[in-house]
């Protein structure tokens, strides 16, 4: 069995309760590590809202039909690093994707997207989830 618990007040209580219920004769491994969550749901929602807005703007101002997925792929290529993976002596270049990013890294990426859009006079919506997505508590 595997349990992942964020150690806030309620999480500590859950850990204590769980540990108390363990069989004393059993063998267990307890791992404690820093919480480095990947991008948040708010960040994901915000990014796809922005991709749609950018796609609509670009489609309206060009002779192409550009999808939100096209915008996603272009911005990821523009603002996120490539990673070289070598197996059996053969290097392959892999694009780091938004799903690979930690929360703080996704915030930095979204800030770059927002700044890029502003430079292009693309007005992006900053909804209620904006503060949450950008790490405000």
Beta-bridged to residue 95, according to DSSP, are: 82
Q: What is the band of 118 on the pLDDT scale with cuts at 50, 70, 90?
A: very high
Residue ranges and CATH numbers for the domains of the chain are 41-133 (1.10.3790.10)
Which tens digit of pLDDT belongs to each residue from 21-42?
A: 887 777 877 777 665 555 688 8
* Ramachandran sector of residue 35 (left: φ over 0; alpha: ψ -120 to 50; beta: rest): beta
Which tens digit of pLDDT belongs to each residue from 58-84?
A: 999 999 999 999 999 999 999 999 999
> What pTM was computed for the model?
0.69
């Amino acid at each position: 069995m595997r349990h992942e618990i964020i150690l806030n007040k309620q999480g500590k209580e859950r850990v204590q309760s769980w540990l108390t219920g363990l069989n004393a004769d059993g063998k267990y491994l307890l791992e404690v590590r820093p919480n480095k969550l990947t991008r948040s749901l708010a960040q994901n929602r915000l990014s796809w809202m922005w991709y749609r807005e950018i796609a609509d703007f670009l489609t309206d101002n060009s002779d192409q039909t550009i999808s939100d997925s096209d915008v996603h792929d272009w911005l990821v290529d523009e603002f996120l690093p490539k990673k070289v993976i070598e197996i059996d002596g053969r290097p392959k270049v892999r694009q780091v994707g938004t799903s690979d990013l930690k929360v703080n890294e996704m915030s930095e990426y979204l800030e770059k997207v927002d700044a890029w859009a502003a430079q292009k006079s693309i007005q992006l919506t900053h909804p209620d989830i904006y503060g949450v997505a950008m790490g405000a508590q």
